[in-house]
Structure 1
C-alpha cells in the first residue's frame, strides 16, 4: 500500500451519518469478509492501495466512540483519519430559520459538514457500497492529474453491474456529450431486468410503460471527485433549499444537485470516468448472501488478502447502541 506524501494526496470522504440510527442491524456494519470485514473496510483498503492520503468519516457525533473503536487502531500508520459531524446546526451554513427535523439534510449537506477537513481534491462515496479497486485507482489518478475548480468528475458504472436479483433499484442514469462529460443525471426508479430473457434486457418502468436501457448504460453510484470549490457552491444554494423545504421533513439536499447546477451555469464540467467494476450493495436483505459470496470470490481470486487488517479486533457494537 502507498503511504508516502499522504498530506498532499487526495482525500476520501465516506458518507456514514445515515448508519447511526440503524446500528446493530445496519448493512454498513455487517460483516462480509472472511474476518467479518465490512464494506467500508474494503473501500478504505482500496483507497489506500490507490494512493489516497486521508479518510474523513461523516457521521453523527454520538457515534464517534464506535467509529474510533472500529477504525483508528487498524488504520493507524496507513492513512490519516478524521471525523466530521453531520448535525442540525444550520447557522454555520448561513441559515437562521429554525427547522424541526428527525434526520439531517442529505448527502450534499453531509459533504458541507466536512468542509474543515477538505483542503485539497477529494472523493465522496457511500458507506454501504462496494465499488472495487478500479474505481478508486481511476478517481485517484484524475484527482492528482486533472482535477481543478472547473474540472471535476464522477465514476460511471455500467448499469448491468449494479442490479439486484431480488427486486427493482433506483439509479441516476447519465447522459454524456461526445467528449465524455456529464450533460445530466436523471434519477430512474423501478429498474430491473425485463421478461425478455433472450435479450437479457434491462428496463425502467415509468407509469405502466417499460423503457429499455442498454447493459452498458453508465449510471451514478454516488462516487464523485471534487475540489473544495463544490462546497462554496453548495453553501450558496443551501439556504434557499432550506427555505423552500422547511416544511418538508423528507426533503434532502442531494449531491447531484450541485454538479447539475454548476454544469448548467457553466461553472464547471464533470468528466464521467467509466469503470467495468462490479458494484455490490445490499438493497434487499436477500442480497446479503450474494454480496458475501462475491467478496469471498475476490479473496479466493487474490484481489484481496484474507485478512485486510491484522491483527483482527472484534468490537461489540451492542455496547454503543441507543437504549
Structure 2
C-alpha cells in the first residue's frame, strides 16, 4: 500500500475571522497553521496533500505553498463550488454558503485514489495525531474499517467562552457508536473551587469527563466514502435545498455507515492538545501556543 493522502478543508469563507485565515501567519516566520499540519504530515509518512479550496483562491494558495512543498510532498487542488450536476443533482440552487464539509470531501473524488485523512485547515492537531492516523491508514484501514481521531475534550477547551464539539460514544472494541454535537461546552467552578467541564442543553448542565473523546474533524477514510456521499447528497439537497444555511456535514456519513452496518469507525485516542482559530481575537493565543512548542523543541523555529 502506498503512502496515504492528506485532504485539507480550506474552502471556508472566514466570515467571523475577517480574512483568509487559511494562509494567515502564526509562526515566527509567518508560518500558517497549514504549514505546521503539512510538516507533521510529512514526517508522519503522508505522500500527498490535496487542498479543497474555492477556485478564486487558487493562485493565492499556489503562491503560498507550491514552491515551499516542492520535493517534500505532492500537492494537488480540488475546488468546492456550486455546480450540483457533477454530484448527481440535476437542478440549480442559488446560495452563497458552501454545501458543507462532506460536500467539500466529495470535491476531492477525482484526485484521491487511496486511503486518506481529512482535516480542517485552521485547526492545529499536533504530531501525535498525524502519526497515529498515518499508521492506521497504512496498516489497518479498509472499506469496512475506517477511523476518526479522538481528542480528549479537556485538550480542546477555551478559557474565553463555550465551544461546540462532537462527543463520541465509544464501545468496548474502541469503535464509534455515535457522535453527538454538543454546542455549548464550557468550564464551571464548583463551590470547592474545582473547575469542571459541562455541556448545557435545554438549560440543564451535564458534566463531561476531561478525557471524554471528541471529534475535531480529523477522519481516516477510503474512497468508499465518496460513493456513500454521492448516494446521500442528492437526497440531502432534495430535503434541504430550500434552506440556504443547510450543510452536508462529514459526521453524517460515518453515522450512516455505522447504523447501516457498512463499516465501523475506530476512535484513535490521542494526547495531542488541539487549538484553532475562529475569531481574530484567537490569533495571539495561537501564536503563544506555537511559540511554546518551539521553545520546547517540538518544532524548529523555521519549518521549511
Short-chain TM bin: over 0.9
The Cα of 1:93 is off from its aligned counterpart by 0.8
SS at match of 1:253: coil
Counterpart residue number, 1:45: 39
Matches within 5 A, 1:264-275: 264-275=259-270
- Check whether the contact 2:2–2:138 (CA below 8 A) recurs between aligned residues: no
Find the aligned partners of 1:15 and 1:198 in 2 and give their Cα distance.
40
Find the aligned partners of 1:80 and 1:301 in 2 and give their Cα distance.
29
Find the aligned partners of 1:67 and 1:237 in 2 and give their Cα distance.
30
- Check whether the contact 1:19–1:28 (CA below 8 A) recurs between aligned residues: no
Counterpart residue number, 2:276: 281
Find the aligned partners of 1:23 and 1:293 in 2 and give their Cα distance.
18
SS at match of 1:144: helix
Say yes or no: does 1:31 pair with 2:31: no
Say yes or no: does 1:79 pair with 2:100: no
- The 3 A distance-change label for structure 1 pair 215 and 192 is same
The Cα of 1:8 is off from its aligned counterpart by 1.9
Counterpart residue number, 2:152: 158
The Cα of 1:24 is off from its aligned counterpart by 6.6
The match for 1:68 among 62, 67, 78 is 62
- Check whether the contact 1:10–1:122 (CA below 8 A) recurs between aligned residues: yes
Find the aligned partners of 1:51 and 1:9 in 2 and give their Cα distance.
7
Find the aligned partners of 2:153 and 2:207 in 1 and give their Cα distance.
12
Find the aligned partners of 2:219 and 2:107 in 1 and give their Cα distance.
16
The Cα of 1:97 is off from its aligned counterpart by 2.1
Find the aligned partners of 1:244 and 1:170 in 2 and give their Cα distance.
25
Where structure 1 has 5 or more consecutive residues not aligned to the other structure, the ranges are 1-6, 310-323
- C-alpha root-mean-square deviation of aligned residues, in Å? 1.5
Matches within 5 A, 1:238-277: 238-277=233-272
- The 3 A distance-change label for structure 1 pair 146 and 173 is same
SS at match of 1:139: helix
Number of equivalences: 303
Say yes or no: does 1:102 pair with 2:135: no
The match for 2:121 among 109, 123, 127 is 127
Say yes or no: does 1:143 pair with 2:159: no
SS at match of 1:77: coil
Q: TM-score, normalised by structure 2?
A: 0.97
The Cα of 1:21 is off from its aligned counterpart by 6.7
Counterpart residue number, 2:163: 169
Where structure 2 has 5 or more consecutive residues not aligned to the other structure, the ranges are none
The Cα of 1:249 is off from its aligned counterpart by 0.3
- The 3 A distance-change label for structure 1 pair 23 and 287 is closer
State which drifts further: 20-29 or 47-56. 20-29
SS at match of 1:18: coil
Q: Which has more helix, going by share of residues?
A: 1
SS at match of 2:280: coil
- The 3 A distance-change label for structure 1 pair 23 and 181 is closer
Matches within 5 A, 1:141-220: 141-196=135-190, 198-220=193-215
The Cα of 1:184 is off from its aligned counterpart by 0.2
